[in-house]
A and B are shown apart, each in its own frame.
Chain A
Amino acid sequence: MSVTLAAPVVDVQELSRRFGDFTAVDRLSFAVPRNEVFGLIGPNGAGKTTTIKMLTTLLAATSGRAMVAGYEISAQPAEVRRRIGYVPQLISADAAVTGYENLWVVAGLYGIPRTERQLRIREALEHVGLQAFADELVRNYSGGMIRRLEIASALLHRPEVLFLDEPTVGLDPVAREAVWEQILELQRTYGTAILLTTHYMEEADRLCARIGVLHRGRLVAVGSPAELKARLGRPGVTLQDVFMHFAGEEVELTGSYRETGRTRRVAARLE
C-alpha cells in the first residue's frame, strides 16, 4: 500500500498530440502526487483541454505515455475511467432532468450497487449544498449550482483523481467563490488529487499547490506559485506577470473563433 501511496496519481511522460501538421501538445511531462491540486495554466489554444482529454481517455495520444491512477491511458482506458472524475469545460449536466436524476444515471453507469445508490446521491448533493434542489429540473439551476452538481457527479464513484477543465469559466464572482470553496473543502476532506486548467491567475494562485505553464503545447515552467513568482527576480510580482512572462505578448492573439464561440456559449448558459 505504501508503494502505491508514494507513486504519483498522474504521471505524464513525453505526451504529444498532433492534429495534421499542428502540434497541440508537445512532449509534455509532469507528475501529480496524491493529495495535490495541480493547475495547468496557459492562454486559449495552449493545449490545456487537449491534455485533459488525453488523460481522461477521450482522445488518443499521438505519442508518449501517461499513467493515471495506476493505469496507462491507452493500454487500459476502462480501468482509468473507473478511477477518475471529470468536469469538462462544456456543461455535462443534463438540463432536461432533475439534479437527482443526473446523479442517478452516473451511479448506474459506474455500477454503484442499487442498495447504496440513493444514499450516495443524497450524500453527494448534501456535500455541495444542493439537497434542497434535488428534485428540481437542472434547467432552473443557476450557473454556480450547475457546476457544483457536476462536481458532485464527478465524485459520486469516489475517484482517485478529479479533472476540472476551466471550472469557473462563465461564473460571476460570487458563484466562483462558492465553487472554489467547494474544491478546497473537498481537498481538505478527502485528499483527492485534482488536476485543473484555468486561465484565471487568481484561481490558480488560490487553489493550486503547483502550477504548470503551458505555451503552444509545451510546458514552459512548473513550480509552486511562490517559486514561479520568485523566478522573475523582481519584487511585487503577481501570477499574472508570471503568465505574461512565459506566455508572451501573443496571449491576446490566440483562441480560435470556434473556441471563443464555445466559451461564450458556456458562459451564456451558466448565467
Chain B
Amino acid sequence: MPPASSNVALGRPGGRALEGLTALGQIATIVGYEARKLRHDPSELLLRAIQPALWLVVFGSALSEIHAIPTAPLSYLQYLTPGILAQSVLFIAIFYGIAAIRERELGIIIKFLVSPARRTILVGGRALSASLRGLSQALVVLLLATALSVHLDLTPLTVLGVVVTVVLGSALFSTLSMVIASLVKTQERFLGIGQLLTMPLFFASNAIYPLKIMPPWLRPFALVNPLTYLVDALRNLVLPAGSGLTIFPLALDLGVLLGTTLGLILLAAQLYPRMAQ
C-alpha cells in the first residue's frame, strides 16, 4: 500500500489555498451527508411542520381577533409570522445536539473525530447541516403565511435575506445545542436542559409580543437573548418598511447573530472531542 501522502490531497504541500479548499470540501461533505440522511427519512421534517401551523392558525388568528397586543400599523398575524419562523428555527435547532449524543453512544462520532478534518470544520459543518432543517421550517411558515394571506414583503432580495438569516439562526442554536450535548453527554440530561432552555428563550424575546409590553425586569434578558436578534432580523426583512416595529438595524441583528455563532463554534470545537473519550 503506498503511503497516504501520495494519495490524499491533504498530504500534499500546497499552502493555505489548498487547505481552504479542503476545508470547504469537508464542510460540503458534512452538509451533503445530512441531506442524504434527511432524504432517507424525512419524517422529522413533516412532524416539525405541525407546531408552527398551530401557532399561526390557532394562536395567531385568535389573538388577531381580540387585538390584545399592540402591533399597529400592522396586523398581529403580520407581526407574529417572523416570530413564529424564528421560534420554529429555535425549536428544531436546539435539539440538534441529541444527534451528537446518539452518535456518541453508537460510536459513529468516532468516524468524524478520527478524520483529519479540523474540529472547527466538523462543528461548523454540523452547524450548517442543521440549517437544512431550519430552512425546511422557514418554507413551511412562509407557505402557511401565504395561505393565510398574511401580507409580507417577499422579493427575491428579502427571500435571500431570510435564507441567510435562517442559516445563521439555525447554526447559532444548533451549535449551542452541541455545546450542551458535549457537556451533559446523556440523552436524559440533554432533553431536560433542552426543555428548560426553550421556553425562557422563547418568552424572553420579542417573538410573540413587542418588548415594550414586556415586564421591565424581563427586558434586559430579552436584549441578551439571541432569539430577539433573529426575530428582529426577520422582521426587518419581511415586514413592510417603516412599520416602526423593529428594534435594531438589520446589520446589527446579523452582526450579533454571526458573532455569537462564531464564538459558539470555537467553544464547541473545544468541547466536541470530549465526546469520543
Contacts and interface: CB of A to CB of B under 8 A. Distances in A.
A160 B3 contact: yes
A159 B4 contact: yes
Contact of A191 (B1, B11, B26, B276): B1
A161 to B, nearest CB: 10
B37 A96 contact: yes
Given A101-B33, A113-B9, A92 B110 contact: yes
Interface stretch (A75-83, A216-224, A225-233, A241-249): A75-83
A113 B10 CA distance: 10
A97 B30 contact: no
B32 interface: yes
B114 A93 contact: no
A101 B33 CA distance: 8
A81 B25 contact: no
A83 B114 CA distance: 10
Interface residues of A, number: 44
Interface in B1-23: 1-5, 7-11, 22
Interface string B100-123: 000100111011111111100000
Contact of B110 (A88, A114, A191): A88
Contacts of B8: 82, 110-112, 157-158
A105 B30 contact: yes
A197 to B, nearest CB: 15
Contacts of B114: 56-58, 81, 84, 86
Interface string A47-67: 000000100111100000000
A192 interface: yes
Contact of B41 (A81, A88, A96, A160): A96
B108 A53 contact: no
B70 to A, nearest CB: 47
A90 B106 contact: yes
A78 B110 contact: no
Contacts of B37: 94, 96-97
Pick the most buried of A83, A92, A160, A269: most chain B CB atoms within 10 A of its CB.
Answer: A92
A175 interface: no
Nearest to B41: A96
Interface string A141-180: 0000000000001000111100000000000000000000
Contacts of A158: 1-4, 7-8
Nearest first, the 10 A-B pairs at minimum CB distance are A90-B107, A108-B29, A190-B1, A109-B115, A111-B10, A82-B116, A111-B9, A92-B111, A105-B33, A58-B276
